[in-house]
Structure 1
Amino acid sequence: MDELLAPGLTVVPAGETWFRYNVRVQPHDTDYSGHVWHGASLRWLEAARVECLRSVGMDFADLVRLGIDLPVVSLETRYHQPLRLGDRAMVLTRLIPPERLRLHWEYRVLVEDRLCLSAWVTLVTVDRPQGKVFRAFPVDLAVAIAKLNASFG
C-alpha cells in the first residue's frame, strides 16, 4: 500500500465487495509496547462505518438531525496480528443484509496482505426523542441500507 487510497468500494481477492477506509497508526493509537491499543481499532471501525454510510448519502449529521441513534448492542473482535506505530492499515467493512431491525457490520483490518483484525458489530435503530427501538427502519436509513445491499450484493 504505497499510497493511501481514498475511501470507497473495493473488491478483495475472494471477489467480495467491501467499503475501504484507510488509516495510519499514530502515536496516540499505541500502548506502551508500541502495538495498537484495542480501543483505537474500535474508533477505526466506527469511522469506516460512518464513511460507508456517507458514501451512499446518509451523513451521520443527518441521522442526528432525524433523531436516529444507532447504538452498538454486540461487538466481537479477533486480533490476528499486531499493528504498529506508522503502519498503513486498510479497514474493510460491509453491511450484512439486515436481520429484522438489526444492522450487522463485518470488518477486516489489513496491513498490506496481512490480516490483523476481524470484527463484527451489531447496531439497533433507536428513536432518540422517544428512547425506544424503532419498529421499522426510518425511511432515509432504509434507502441507505438498500443502496449498501445493492453495492455489496
Structure 2
Amino acid sequence: MYSSEYKVRIRYADTDQMGFVYYGNYPIFYEIGRVEAMRSLGFSYKKLEDNGIMMPVLESRSKYILPAKYDELITIKTTITSLPKVKIHFNYEIFNETNKLIHIGETTLAFIRKDSMRPCRVPSEIIDLLNPFYNA
C-alpha cells in the first residue's frame, strides 16, 4: 500500500464565520493530497495530462470528526489502497497539529483519454512506480 503525507496551513479564506474549515473545502484538501502523493511517487498530474489522460472524480465521500481551524497546520495523509486499473481509489486522513484525526475522506477517479473522452487503463509508468509497494 502506498501512502504519503503533506502539510497545509489553514488560510482565513478556507474558514467559515466560526473560524472552522468550511465543509465544502475538504475536497480541495483531497486534491492537494492526491497531487502531492503522485508527485512524491515521482509522477505528476501535469505529465499525465500532457500525455493525453485526465483523471475526473467519479465519487467522493467525507466524514467530519473534528473541525480544522484557522491558522492550524494540518497533515493530509493520502493512501492508494490498491493497484489501479481503469479507476484509482484514494483514502485521506487529515490530522490537526496535535496529530489528532479530524477528518476521513475517499475519492475514486477514472483514467480518461482526452481525445475520445473514453476510459483507459492506468499508464504503465504509474504501475511501475506503484508495484514495489504492493508486490513486496
Q: Cα offset for 1:94?
A: 0.8
Q: Cα offset for 1:142?
A: 2.5
Q: Cα offset for 1:102?
A: 1.6
Aligned positions of 1:116-131 closer than 5 A: 116-131=102-117
Corresponding residue for residue 101 of structure 2: 115
Q: Cα offset for 1:43?
A: 1.1
2:75 counterpart (78, 84, 90): 90
Q: Secondary structure at the match of 1:133?
A: coil
1:142 counterpart (102, 127, 134): 127
Aligned positions of 1:1-153 closer than 5 A: 18-98=3-83, 100-111=85-96, 112-134=98-120, 136-147=121-132, 149=134
CA shift in 2, pair 1:69/1:145, >3 Å: farther
Q: Cα offset for 1:46?
A: 0.6
Structure number with higher strand proportion: 1
Distance in 2 between residues matched to 1:126 and 1:62, nearest whole Å: 14
Alignment size in residue pairs: 135
TM value normalised by structure 1? 0.80
Q: Cα offset for 1:53?
A: 0.6
Alignment check: 8 A CA contact 1:101 1:124 kept: yes
CA shift in 2, pair 1:67/1:47, >3 Å: same
Q: Cα offset for 1:50?
A: 0.7
1:43-98 residue CA offsets vs partner (Å, 9 max, x unmatched): 11111111111112211110111011111101110000011101111110110113
* Identical columns (%): 22
* RMSD between superposed Cα atoms in Å: 1.9
Q: Cα offset for 1:17?
A: 6.7
Structure of higher RCO (CA pairs closer than 8 Å, 6+ residues apart):
2
Identify which range, 139-148 or 25-34, moves more after superposition.
139-148
Q: Cα offset for 1:147?
A: 5.0
Q: Secondary structure at the match of 1:140?
A: helix
